Amino acid sequence: MTVLNETIPLGEYIFLRLCQANPKMKSIFGVPGDYNLNLMEHLYADSLVEQDVKFVGNCNELNAAYCSDGYARIMDTFSVMITTLGVGELSAMNGISSAFSEYSPILHIVGTIPIFKEKFNEKAEQEGGEFQNWHHLVQSKDQLSKPDPDVYMKMCEPISVVREKLELNMEENFDRIDNVINTILHESRPGYLFIPADLPDIKVSSARLTKPFPFVKNTNEDKLEEFSNLILSNLYESKNPSIMSDDLITKFHSMDSFQKIINKVQNDKSVKLYSSRIGKNIDETLDNFIGIYPSPNKKVTESFQNSDCLVVFGYSNFETNSLYNNPNHFKNIKTVIKINPDFISVGDKIFRLKSKGERLFAMNDLINKIAQDLNVDLLNKQDNCLDFKSSQVVLAEENDTEESRIGQDKLFNFVNNYIQEDDIIMCETSSFCFALPDLTFKKNVRAIYNSYYASIGFALPACVGVSMAIKDLGRKNRVLLFEGDGSAQMTVQEISTFLRFNLTIPKIFLMNNEGYTIERAIKGETRSYNDIQYWNWEFALKMFGDMNGEVSKYVKLSNNKDFDKYFSNEVDVNKLQLFELMMYKTDYSQGLKFFLGK
């Protein structure tokens, strides 16, 4: 192990500090640019090489943001990406906006103009001399005014939870670095660290690195006790209680704590279990698991609405979760308790958990406290499940002749049987992503998609991040990526990153339905604005570098006959696999029809 000198370059210090805060991190994403090159050089210091930390160069900054998002979700902590001033950071802003909406903790490091250039313009302004415009930095609207070096920093304020810029005072810089990391972890959302290009080589003290990273945690034990008692007393008084898991349980790293609650009630039919459409984080084979809600299944809906007390863990308020046509689906339930990282609501009463930016406690602490305090003997002992057993959905396949193209319903039925335990299912914003909630997940299956921000093009580069995280952690999960042909044309370059870093984990199901089918379902079914240029995907893997098929495999499945024949005799290979599925341009999943109220 490298013994650090008393002083080391600031750039090396920054990377070592990040590794202290996230020891699992082995990959940093991004794109090099002239203002971040001095910083990037320090990634190759012996101390970083020993920790196997590598830079994963992406094809563009938007893709880098999506990759970082996927990496953070699997790592269950923050990820890191690096871009350069303006041209790089602005390209990434769409992906950072997505991460903000989806609660993905990304540290976005931006290399900015050197401090001496800022000082030059400040001096020119004071002395009445001529200032200098610098490349990448947008000019002032007034050509006789100096450019604002922090103009982009201001732009990212609404889509980040913390922004820090390093200056010449190194002790203050140390605090700024730690503050960024802690804030990102607490909020599970992106933050920014701006580093002027002339700072990374400055020697600084390495003393802070001799101590563990100072994770900041606020826990008001009295308030924890109070809210745990309040929530449990409502459950104990209920005659027909229900527990619902929602999406933010996973995104705020609370699954282990929540599972302790499920373990206590899983054999108790007095408590009904549900998942939100996006949540899907309860074992769906349990006897008291009723189903996903909202649901097209009338029995599930009736059972849900008959609850007199509902506790929603990890509550998330998005119409893609509650459906356009059903925004008030809790209204028939007497007492609804919503547990969110920022608030708890009990009926009409709302209790804010944040004051002046500080939380009373983390949502995970409350869930863990409830798990500890829950006494199942105090629950009302009666069978509220009424022998209701959640069963696997099987759809009638309309296009079922051998020569028919592959239908959405056929794909749904196939995936339902193809899923294995521990699989990670990734899906583009597409017709098929609205079918995911109705799939029956086996143990530890996880779905990842851009459910809130809904930016097409997310899934393929995010899959790079997910695959890299699995590889870095030494895990063996299968990754099934369902990608639309229109979406793929947005971010397809990242296939080259799969090949470059030998990421052979994913099976990519490319749904070729000749354009933006999800948009056709909303409007303009036959309009040209929903059409795209046909690509010959057979040559994509070769174009991106695998000329001889050494690490990848392409299969075109034109109809039901091809599909059934291939997967009835599938031989798994240790290669990146791309299956091109020929589908109908106006065939919509049942889940999308339900979502749109059709």
User: Residues 349, 443: one domain?
Assistant: no
User: Residues 165, 256: one domain?
Assistant: no
pLDDT bin (cut points 50, 70, 90) of residue 579 is: very high
Q: Which of 209, 236, 265 is the last residue of a domain?
A: 209
pLDDT digits (tens, 9 = 90+) for 541-570: 999 999 999 999 999 999 999 999 999 999
Distances from the Cα of 71 to the Cαs of 61, 66, 170, 420, 465, in angstroms? 15, 9, 30, 21, 4
Q: Does a structural domain hold residue 541?
A: yes
Average model confidence (pLDDT) for the chain?
93
Strands (E), 216-305: 241-245, 272-276, 289-293
User: Domain range for residue 26?
Assistant: 7-209
User: Residues 330, 269: one domain?
Assistant: yes
Q: Does a structural domain hold residue 390?
A: no
Structure token digits, residue 269: 């039919």
User: Residues 253, 205: one domain?
Assistant: no
User: Residues 127, 58: one domain?
Assistant: yes
**292/279 Cα distance (integer angstroms):** 9
Q: Does a structural domain hold residue 383?
A: no
Q: What percent of the chain has pLDDT over 70?
A: 98
Contact 190, 164 (CB under 8 A): no
pLDDT digits (tens, 9 = 90+) for 222-232: 999 999 999 99
Q: Does a structural domain hold residue 457?
A: yes
User: Residues 228, 311: one domain?
Assistant: yes
User: Residues 545, 414: one domain?
Assistant: yes
**185/75 Cα distance (integer angstroms):** 12
User: Residues 17, 123: one domain?
Assistant: yes
What is the pTM (predicted TM-score) of this model? 0.95
**30/84 Cα distance (integer angstroms):** 9
At residue 402, the pLDDT reads 81
**270/274 Cα distance (integer angstroms):** 13
User: Residues 574, 444: one domain?
Assistant: yes
pLDDT digits (tens, 9 = 90+) for 68-103: 999 999 999 999 999 999 999 999 999 999 999 999
**89/165 Cα distance (integer angstroms):** 14
**225/556 Cα distance (integer angstroms):** 58
CATH of the domain at 258: 3.40.50.1220
CATH of the domain at 163: 3.40.50.970
- Which of 198-207, 296-305, 422-431, 474-483 shows the lowest per-residue confidence on average (mean pLDDT)? 296-305
User: Residues 170, 22: one domain?
Assistant: yes
At residue 17, the pLDDT reads 98
Q: Does a structural domain hold residue 398?
A: no
Q: How many domains does the chain have?
A: 3
- Which of 42-46, 275-279, 324-328, 472-476 shows the lowest per-residue confidence on average (mean pLDDT)? 324-328
pLDDT digits (tens, 9 = 90+) for 138-179: 999 988 888 999 999 999 999 999 999 999 999 999 999 999
Type of residue numbered 192? Y
Structure token digits, residue 59: 């094809």
At residue 3, the pLDDT reads 67
pLDDT digits (tens, 9 = 90+) for 479-537: 999 999 999 999 999 999 999 999 999 999 999 999 999 999 999 999 999 999 999 99
Q: Does a structural domain hold residue 214?
A: no
pLDDT digits (tens, 9 = 90+) for 237-278: 999 999 999 999 999 999 999 999 999 999 888 999 999 999
Q: Which of 337, 356, 378 is the last residue of a domain?
A: 378
User: Residues 201, 64: one domain?
Assistant: yes
**244/241 Cα distance (integer angstroms):** 10
Q: Does a structural domain hold residue 56?
A: yes
User: Residues 547, 508: one domain?
Assistant: yes
Type of residue numbered 33? G
Q: Residue 389 above 70 pLDDT?
A: no
β-pair partners for 163:
192
Q: Residue 324 above 50 pLDDT?
A: no
Q: Does a structural domain hold residue 394?
A: no
